[in-house]
A and B are shown apart, each in its own frame.
Chain A
Amino acid sequence: KDQVFQPSTVASSEGAVVEIFCNHSVSNAYNFFWYLHFPGCAPRLLVKGSKPSQQGRYNMTYERFSSSLLILQVREADAAVYYCAVCSMDSSYKLIFGSGTRLLVRP
């Protein structure tokens, strides 16, 4: 079954680099997507691709079956839920989402 796996919670201290890991069992997967979700707001795309990518403080690593989102100089305001998603060549318009990782940031 096509599934995406990510930890339920990651904790970090302010100013650190935090890594959120994601792996999958999706057949013919070719792109990762990382979304940020604050409660009550629309999930927002942070970074995507099939190779390592960077958008501001957000870096994405890429391997065929896994990806990590790295948040540089993490702040208390980064505390939110981060979703990893994968698309497959079998169905290019569908994204398969992980269950989300809640990031906790200690001051």
Chain B
Amino acid sequence: DVKVTQSSRYLVKRTGEKVFLECVQDMDHENMFWYRQDPGLGLRLIYFSYDVKMKEKGDIPEGYSVSREKKERFSLILESASTNQTSMYLCASSKTGNSGQPQHFGDGTRLSIL
């Protein structure tokens, strides 16, 4: 079974802080994703990576950056946290393939910015 592990289930930070959310997958997947989930808005893609050191912006990248130094790890960085970044953050990974591969999710990190 694919295991996607997010380092924290709950996190509370202050406005202006630099925040790191970590995600690790154990199935040698090429692709990794960061989403945020907000009521009524579903899953919105922030950034994704299809290879080590490669990254692409998703639909809502403003205020975020990412790092993929190793294949198994994908970090989401809030450079200067703001209250509108309070949300549930979900990490996912998938294998590259021709037929559209499913994404496997972690349990999520609920981040509160005070």
Contact = CB atoms under 8 A, between A and B. Distances in A.
A and B pair up: yes
A30 B100 CA distance: 8
Contacts of A42: 4, 90, 104-108
> Helix, strand, loop or mixed for chain B's interface?
loop
Interface string B24-41: 000000110001000011
Interface stretch (A10-18, A57-65, A92-100): A92-100
B114 to A, nearest CB: 21
A48 interface: yes
- Chain B interface residue bracket vs A: 20 to 34
A93 B105 CA distance: 14
Which of under 10, 10 to 19, 20 to 34, or 35 or more describes the interface residues of A? 20 to 34
Contacts of A83: 42-43
Contacts of B30: 93
A41 B107 contact: yes
Contact of B99 (A31, A35, A45): A31
Interface of A: 8, 30-31, 33, 35, 40-45, 48, 50, 83, 87, 92-95, 97-100
Interface of B: 4, 9, 30-31, 35, 40-45, 48, 50, 90, 94, 96-108
